[in-house]
A = this chain, B = another copy of it.
Amino acid sequence: MKKIILLFSLSLFLSCNTSTNKEPEAKQTNNTEKQQDSVANFGIVIHGGAGTILKENMSDSLEQEYKAKLEEAIKVGHKILANGGTAIEAVQRTINIMENSPLFNAGKGAVFTNEGKNELDASIMDGQTLNAGAVSGVTTVKNPINLAWEVMGNSEHVMLSGKGAEQFAKERGLEIVDPGYFYTENRFKSLERLKAKNTKKTELDHDGKTAFVDPFIKDSKFGTVGCAALDKNGNLAAGTSTGGMTNKKWGRIGDAPIIGAGTYANNKTAAISATGWGEFFIRGVVAYDISALMEYKKMSLAQAAKEVIQKKNPELGGSGGIIAIDHQGNVSMEFNTAGMYRAKMNKNGKLEIGIYKN
């Protein structure tokens, strides 16, 4: 069945590509907006990570860089959707833009592990079929979200890890890079800063929480990326890609590659991608919990997202946020941190970008 779905997706992609040449502008005139009201609903929403993102710590030029990259990324997905492409294709291509930017903790720009490596995780889910793919701990695959998509479409599995996942990536012909590709000076300095603090932590073990949490919040949650989309056929998809935590050890896996925690999509409810302190998102089964509240308690997406992110997640001790879109095109960008890089775009091309709390 997976193969049939893949062929179907590919044919949609191809038919979408044939119409790509028209290249409609994302932002429409008023007249065109009126015309589009009769067009099937679609929309897209993205995040670039949540954490202690404060205006006083951000230069104007860096803020502009983030906003420009968020806009570039979301417009790629929006164009695919506008041309009749699939939600899952839009999710993948949008995430690629953020993975390829050093601004975000995913792909190029991923944070460093304790051993000074970049180990990448990603997952993707199709709300129509509940098919899903995920990878953890890959070090040589340029775009982990593409590998997650390959796992979904071209393996009997949902989740692959480490060297084995890299072998599968090679067999599928994905772009392989030298691990050095992922090096960025900023992220490496973050590791060095954190390691210096960790020495202190060993001396003050009882005070470990302060030493652990502070730099983690300030550095590591700044960049997980994610996308959720609704296409013109009413299909939902979500994806998440990350480098995880700076200074992570012991092959730590966070919520990003966990279906139900970091990523979930179901045409009945919504497509959701999470970002934040991964351990608490796993324990709270955050992405699926939002879907379950919608399906079983008949909450709206906004209510469900608020319940999980503003109540359940902080009560457990966690922090972070989600972006989501439901089957009617309603969007949520809910977070309990100081900021979350985020953007949304509806069928009329109306674009909203945010970084801090409103």
Which residues on A are within 8 Å of B, measured CB to CB? 1, 125, 130-132, 136-137, 155-165, 167-168, 212, 248-254, 258-261, 264, 278-279, 282-285, 288-289, 292-293, 296-297, 316-317
From residue A25, how far is it (CB to closest CB) to chain B in Å?
Answer: 38
Q: In the bound complex, do residue B165 and residue A279 qualify as a contact, i.e. CB atoms below 8 Å apart?
A: no
Q: In the bound complex, do residue A164 and residue B252 qualify as a contact, i.e. CB atoms below 8 Å apart?
A: yes
**A251 touches which one: B164, B212, B288, B317 (CB < 8 A)?**
B164
Q: Which residues of B contact A288 (CB under 8 A)?
A: 260, 285, 288-289, 292
Q: In the bound complex, do residue B161 and residue A136 qualify as a contact, i.e. CB atoms below 8 Å apart?
A: yes
> Mostly helix, strand, loop or mixed at chain A's interface?
mixed
Q: In the bound complex, do residue B285 and residue A260 qualify as a contact, i.e. CB atoms below 8 Å apart?
A: yes
Q: In the bound complex, do residue B160 and residue A250 qualify as a contact, i.e. CB atoms below 8 Å apart?
A: yes
Q: Which residues of B contact A132 (CB under 8 A)?
A: 282-283
Q: How far is the CA of A25 from the CA of B164 in the complex (A)?
A: 48
**A160 touches which one: B162, B165, B253 (CB < 8 A)?**
B253
Copies of this chain held together in the complex: 2
Given contact pairs A163-B251, A258-B258, a sample of 9 additional A-B residue pairs in the complex whose CB atoms are under 8 Å apart: A130-B283, A159-B282, A161-B161, A164-B250, A165-B250, A259-B282, A259-B285, A260-B285, A285-B288
Q: In the bound complex, do residue B296 and residue A292 qualify as a contact, i.e. CB atoms below 8 Å apart?
A: yes
Q: In the bound complex, do residue A162 and residue B251 qualify as a contact, i.e. CB atoms below 8 Å apart?
A: yes
Q: How far is the CA of A279 from the CA of B278 in the complex (A)?
A: 22
Q: In the bound complex, do residue B284 and residue A130 qualify as a contact, i.e. CB atoms below 8 Å apart?
A: yes
Q: How far is the CA of A293 from the CA of B167 in the complex (A)?
A: 39
From residue A215, how far is it (CB to closest CB) to chain B in Å?
Answer: 13
**A292 touches which one: B161, B250, B289 (CB < 8 A)?**
B289
Q: Which residue of B lies closest to A163 (CB)?
A: B251
Q: In the bound complex, do residue B283 and residue A131 qualify as a contact, i.e. CB atoms below 8 Å apart?
A: yes
